[in-house]
Amino acid sequence: LYADPLGRFTVLSVVWRPGQGTPVHGHTAWGAVGVYSGRPSVANYRLVCDGAVELACEAVCAPGDITCVQPGIDYPHRVYNAGDDVAITVHTYGRDLVADPASINIPL
C-alpha cells in the first residue's frame, strides 16, 4: 500500500482466505496490525527449553482491532483465519520491505 521513500516503514495489506495462516514466527522490526474485515485469530507463544514454543494466549480479532509486534524471536506468534469468510488485515512494519519482502519474518 505504501513504502516510505527513506525505507523507514512499509504498509501492506494481507488477504486471508478461510483456513490460511502463517507458521509461528517472530519479526525483524516493530510492527502494527489492524483488522479491516473478517475475524482472524492471533496466537501468541512463549519460548520454552531447546527452542520449542508453547501457546501463551489466543484472541479472535474483529474489524477495528489493532495489535502490535516487537522485533526478535522472543515474541513468537501466528495469524490464522479460522472463519468462513475472507479476512483482510493492514500491516505496518518498521523496515523497507520493497527491497526484500521476506526479510520481515523470523521463522521458528
* C-alpha–C-alpha distance, residues 87 and 62, integer Å: 10
The residues near 16 (Cβ < 8 Å, ≥ 6 apart) are 38, 40, 79, 80, 81, 86, 87, 88, 89
- Read off the C-alpha cell for 7: 525505507
pLDDT in tens, 46-78: 999 887 899 999 999 999 999 999 999 888 999
Confidence of residue 101 (pLDDT cuts 50, 70, 90): confident
Total-model pTM = 0.90
